């Protein structure tokens, strides 16, 4: 979680941001692109899910902004080899539960929580580069990123994807309930007053509704290459 780069170095470290709604595939795309380039990856949503888990463990429901922000500032979180730990405990699967995702969407709308996690997210910017996915990576966290992607998909397609993910993990879920949850999350993310989900003015929008992961990855890498060598080798 601790950056080894100075503020000056961070300014020249390239960043590709991938923003988009829940289940648009941005996390998978971001990791694939990062792996291809040999860069670091930031799953910003995991930080909000960890905050949500901490809030739940503290007996909260996300209604106390001060409590949630304090927990966000004090997160003892570690990311290593695909494993996410909170206070030394492996919570990789726990934070992917729908209940935690819904609570994360709620706490993410709190300005104090977003402020508490701002510097922590920017600390992920280290050489040789960073691919960051979330909802405000290109608009708030890394507004100077040379390449910004807004990855979208139809809500019914996203619901079906989430349903398949859960089914593959042996978790029972109702498709209609997932669809309603996604619509509520979309509304909450897009309508919040602070750092709403919106494409940056200079972002490239990619609709992944009917496009495979490999094709989207290729599109992102191609866009990066077209920027030229000024931002680093592809």
Tens digit of each residue's pLDDT (9 = 90 or more) over 159-201: 999 899 888 878 888 999 999 999 998 998 898 878 889 999 9
Angle at 195 between CA 190 and CA 199, to 5 degrees: 60
- Mind listing the pLDDT tens digit for each residue in 117-159? 999 999 999 999 999 999 999 999 999 999 999 999 999 999 9
Confidence (pLDDT) at 105: 87
| DSSP letter, residue 145 | -
Name the residue among 135, 133, 132, 140 with its Cα closest to residue 13. Answer: 132
Alpha carbon 74 to chain centroid distance? 20
Check whether 4 has a pLDDT greater than 80.
no
Per-residue pLDDT at 11: 54
Residues of the chain with pLDDT > 70: what percent? 92
DSSP per residue over 11-32, as a string? HHS-EEEEE-STTSSHHHHHHH
**Cα Rg for the chain, rounded, in angstroms?**
17
Would you state the pLDDT for residue 32?
96
Predicted confidence (pLDDT) at residue 229 exceeds the cutoff of 60? no
Indicate whether 69 pLDDT > 70: yes
User: Which listed CATH number (3.40.50.300, 2.40.30.10, 3.40.640.10, 3.40.50.11440) goes with 7-222?
Assistant: 3.40.50.300
Q: Assign 104 to helix, strand or coil.
A: helix
> pTM here?
0.85
Give the start-to-end residue ranges of the domains of the chain.
7-222
The residue that leads in pLDDT, 229 or 18, is 18
> ω before 128 within 30° of 0 (cis)?
yes
Rounded to whole angstroms, the Cα distance separating 103 from 109 reads 10
In degrees and rounded to multiples of 5, residue 119 shows phi and psi of: -65, -35
The pLDDT value recorded for residue 3 is: 37
Average pLDDT in the chain: 89
Q: What is the pLDDT of residue 230?
A: 47
Q: What is the pLDDT of residue 231?
A: 47
Q: Is the pLDDT reported for residue 114 higher than 90? A: yes
Structure tokens at 161: 């994807």
Report pLDDT for 25: 92
Distances (CA, A) of 188 to 46, 184, 220: 18, 6, 27
Burial of 132 (0-12, 13-18, 19+ CB in 10 A): buried
Average of pLDDT values for 52-67? Answer: 96
């Amino acid at each position: 979680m601790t950056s080894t780069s100075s503020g000056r170095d961070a300014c020249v470290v390239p960043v590709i941001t991938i923003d988009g709604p829940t289940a648009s595939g941005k996390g998978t795309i971001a990791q694939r692109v990062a792996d291809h380039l040999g860069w670091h990856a930031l799953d910003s949503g995991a930080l909000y899910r960890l905050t949500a888990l901490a809030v739940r463990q503290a007996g909260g429901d996300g209604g106390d902004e001060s409590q949630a922000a304090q927990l966000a500032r004090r997160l003892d979180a570690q990311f290593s080899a695909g494993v996410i730990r909170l206070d030394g405990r492996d919570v990789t699967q726990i934070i992917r539960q729908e209940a935690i995702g819904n609570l994360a969407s709620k706490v993410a709308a709190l300005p104090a929580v977003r402020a508490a996690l701002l510097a922590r997210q920017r600390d992920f910017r280290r050489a040789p580069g960073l691919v960051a996915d979330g909802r405000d990576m290109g608009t708030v966290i890394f507004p100077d990123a040379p390449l910004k992607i807004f990855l979208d998909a139809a809500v019914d397609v996203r619901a079906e994807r989430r349903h398949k993910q859960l089914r593959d993990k042996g978790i029972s879920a109702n498709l209609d309930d997932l669809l309603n949850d996604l619509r509520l999350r979309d509304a909450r993310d897009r309508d919040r007053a602070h750092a709403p989900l919106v494409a940056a003015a200079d972002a490239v929008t990619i609709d992944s509704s009917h496009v495979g992961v490999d094709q989207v990855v290729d599109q992102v890498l191609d866009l990066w290459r077209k920027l030229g060598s000024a931002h680093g080798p592809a």
